Structure 1
Amino acid sequence: MKKRGLAAAFLLAVSFAGISQSEETSTLSDTSRVVAIGGSITEIIYALGAQDRLVARDSTSVYPEAAFKLPDVGYMRQLSPEGVLSVNPSGIIALQTSGPKEAVDVLKKASVPYVEVPETFDHKGIIDKIEIVGAALGEKEKADTLAKQVDSELNAAEAITRNVTERKRVLFVLSLQGGKILAAGSDTAADGMIHLAGAENAMQGLSGYKQMTDEAVVSAKPDAILVMDRAGQSISDDQVLQHPAIATTPAGEAKKIVRMDGSYLLGFGPRTASAVRELATALYGETVGN
């Protein structure tokens, strides 16, 4: 991922002369050749049955498997305008967190209509994304139906931990490079998922992904460690449990590690209700909600 990011950053040096000015829009007049940037955007388009409009996707769009047949325009946070525009799109639908800013600014000024989709890591944010993507594609009726279905599923998933009296404290570990724990604070997808599953983020008072000192990890007293499964980049259980700070926490002593597929856990799309159920069950046991 680091090499891909460096390559994309290098391509940003390419000059885009002669690009005409256009306004950011909420609907696409031509939906015949759409580029989706953001895994949840791609998932929503497939869930709406509009995948025939897609001509490319970003590298975070790994579900459904059929999406891999589409050209990959790069990592959503290290986009190259040249790469995105090379597939001759009639429109671009992208998460607001796409970047870098210079690349997104170029794409917004291109002659290709650009729909920016806000992302908040909560129940409402998922529903809003579905409605916005549906409107952009001219599929409001299908989007309304999907939004109602997902809303119902999310309500049911959140309800299973409603009566939990002692909330589990969860530490999401993104990486352990150099023995330093990079953990998720507030304003992150991991934090949003932890709360949807009826638990508490053990990393309090910090925003975004931050490196934690060993003392901070011990003080956080997590009951469980949450990690992502990523092809070729997963943190092993041994790496987690042998970390000296984690080993002394309730999670380390109980060897409580929960691992889930990254796009499934943090996607905040149509599959999120299922991921919430899975995480809640992993944290609280099969009897949760009964």
Structure 2
Amino acid sequence: MRQTVSTILTALVVLSLVAPATAGAAAPTPAGVGAADAGTAELGASPAMQADCSFPFSATDATGTEVTVEERPERVTTLNPSAAQTMWEIGGEEQVVGVSQFAFYLDGAENRTNVSASGFGVNNEKVVGTNPDLVLAPNATPVETVESLRDSGLTVFYMPEAKTVEDVREKTTLTGQLTGNCEGAAEANAWMTRNVDAAENATADAERPSVLYPLGGGYVAGSDTFISAMINASGGSNVAAERGLSGYPQVSDEVVVEANPEILLVQTEADGERYVTTEPYASTAAGEDERYVVVDQNYLNQPAPRSVVYAVRNMTEGFHPDADAAFVDRSEVQANATSNASADANAENDSSASTTDTEAAETTESTDGDDGATDAETTGTTTPGFGVTAAVAALVVAALAARRS
């Protein structure tokens, strides 16, 4: 089994290095998203202020192709679990008609068409058979698959690789614009940002433990990855990144021992128990202290809002058990959004009433022979808006899923 995992990971890591270069890995440039959208979302941000959700909507995807969605898509097919998770989080799950096999952990996903091919990859015929108005293809999807689906007449948007929390924000906002779920995307981003901020604030002055995420077969998660970003946001230090390793490199036992991580990041309790008692990990500080932190692979390996929240929560609590992080539930964000929406409506009504009163005053003063002049200038009431920005990880998901088989 170890040999199988090693072989799979080798192929996947090679693909992760080739796919972005082939695709150009250009960041998407959605119309209507300016510098203001690059800011951090605030808890309770007014969703309507976050992005333009009008159609037709056009944006340039990671292949450098300008993709136009003429109207809100009623049928959306997702080729990787991170895209499906994002659709669920922004309130677009009812639009989804096709998902990959690794998205079945989402409530109701098993009722959608499974578009996965046998083993790994996507079955193009199954995708076409879902009759989608839009196909969302995360970066782990081979470019050849995207081109083939486009040749079949489908509208496909190829997402850039998400390596940071900011990347996830941008991808979430963009997915909301492509599918007509801008308010849900803003709310998901506000929830995600508030929890990341809580983790960073709670661990700002704490000593950062050294962490290593072993993938099996000698592979680890280095810098310039979504996983490394989650470790950093949770108050940890990715020891592989500290040693100048990027992506998902294969390292020797000697390198692991020299790196001497204090904590291992794993997907299950069984994985943790196995690693800390197996060389080379048993000879590290993590092995000697039998210290590891468990994060569900669906949330550790998929760059999407729910993944960020749950992974950061688990890691922060595992890295810093005594930290008092003010994490918030999604319901709190929804309540704040509803409150803000009511405040916006009241402000608009007050503004209208104020304008009417001023007009009446102007009319009275004009009648009194003041030539229409008034000391009071009518000014519009403005409602504060909060800017928000809006896959390689799926490769890791596929490899780790193979370990379960």
Q: Provide the TM-score with structure 2 as the length reference.
A: 0.59
User: What residue in structure 2 maps to residue 263 of structure 1?
Assistant: 298
Partner of 1:125: helix, strand, or coil? helix
Cα contact 1:217–1:245 (8 A) shared by 2: yes
More helix by proportion, 1 or 2?
Answer: 2
More strand by proportion, 1 or 2?
Answer: 1
Is 1:90 equivalent to 2:90 in the alignment?
no
Q: Classify 1:77/1:125 alpha carbon distance in 2 versus 1 (closer, same or farther; 3 Å).
A: farther
Cα contact 1:163–1:289 (8 A) shared by 2: no
The one-letter code sitting in structure 2 at the alignment partner of 1:212 is V
The one-letter code sitting in structure 2 at the alignment partner of 1:173 is P
Q: Which has the larger radius of gyration?
A: 2
Displacement, 1:113? 0.8
Q: Distance in 2 between matches of 1:185 and 1:156?
A: 24
Cα contact 1:170–1:225 (8 A) shared by 2: yes
Partner of 2:208: helix, strand, or coil? coil
Q: Which moved more, 1:250-259 or 1:236-245?
A: 236-245
Displacement, 1:288? 4.9
Identity of aligned residues (%): 27
Is 1:207 equivalent to 2:246 in the alignment?
yes
1:243 to 278, 295, 309: 278
1:253 to 285, 288, 302: 288
Q: Distance in 1 between matches of 2:94 and 2:215?
A: 34
Displacement, 1:235? 5.6
Return structure 1 stretches of 4+ with deviation > 6 angstroms.
Answer: none
Q: Distance in 2 between matches of 1:289 and 1:47?
A: 23
Partner of 2:169: helix, strand, or coil? helix
Displacement, 1:37? 2.2
Cα contact 1:264–1:275 (8 A) shared by 2: yes
Is 1:171 equivalent to 2:212 in the alignment?
yes
Partner of 2:108: helix, strand, or coil? helix
Q: Which moved more, 1:60-69 or 1:131-140?
A: 60-69
The one-letter code sitting in structure 1 at the alignment partner of 2:213 is F
Q: Counterparts of 1:126-165 in structure 2 under 5 Å?
A: 126-164=168-206
User: What residue in structure 2 maps to residue 34 of structure 1?
Assistant: 76
Q: Distance in 2 between matches of 1:172 and 1:50?
A: 32
The one-letter code sitting in structure 2 at the alignment partner of 1:237 is G
Q: Distance in 1 between matches of 2:320 and 2:222?
A: 22
Q: Distance in 1 between matches of 2:277 and 2:185?
A: 46
1:105 to 144, 147, 154: 147
CA deviations 1:55-92 (Å, max 9, x no partner) are: 11112324423212212111796223223212222210
1:281 to 317, 337, 340: 317
CA deviations 1:212-261 (Å, max 9, x no partner) are: 211100111100111124xxxx8633431232221111101000121211
Q: Which runs of 5+ in 1 are unaligned?
A: 6-22
User: What residue in structure 1 maps to residue 219 of structure 2?
Assistant: 182
Q: Distance in 1 between matches of 2:188 and 2:277?
A: 44
CA deviations 1:7-51 (Å, max 9, x no partner) are: xxxxxxxxxxxxxxxx65153535121101232221221222221
Q: Distance in 1 between matches of 2:301 and 2:168?
A: 12
User: What residue in structure 2 maps to residue 219 of structure 1?
Assistant: 258
Cα contact 2:168–2:303 (8 A) shared by 1: yes
CA deviations 1:66-124 (Å, max 9, x no partner) are: 2122121117962232232122222101212222x322221233311112222322221
Q: Which moved more, 1:214-223 or 1:62-71?
A: 62-71
User: What residue in structure 1 maps to residue 12 of structure 2?
Assistant: none
User: What residue in structure 2 maps to residue 12 of structure 1?
Assistant: none
Q: Which moved more, 1:79-88 or 1:49-58?
A: 79-88
Q: Classify 1:144/1:237 alpha carbon distance in 2 versus 1 (closer, same or farther; 3 Å).
A: closer
CA deviations 1:120-156 (Å, max 9, x no partner) are: 2222112111111111112223323332333223222
1:68 to 110, 121, 140: 110
Q: Distance in 2 between matches of 1:242 and 1:78?
A: 34
Matched residue count: 261
Displacement, 1:262? 0.4
User: Which structure carries more relative contact order (alpha carbon 8 Å, separation 6+)?
Assistant: 2
Q: Which runs of 5+ in 2 are unaligned?
A: 9-64, 327-405
Name the Cα RMSD after superposition: 2.5
Q: Distance in 2 between matches of 1:93 and 1:143?
A: 15
Partner of 1:279: helix, strand, or coil? helix
Displacement, 1:289? 4.6
Q: Provide the TM-score with structure 1 as the length reference.
A: 0.81
The one-letter code sitting in structure 1 at the alignment partner of 2:136 is I
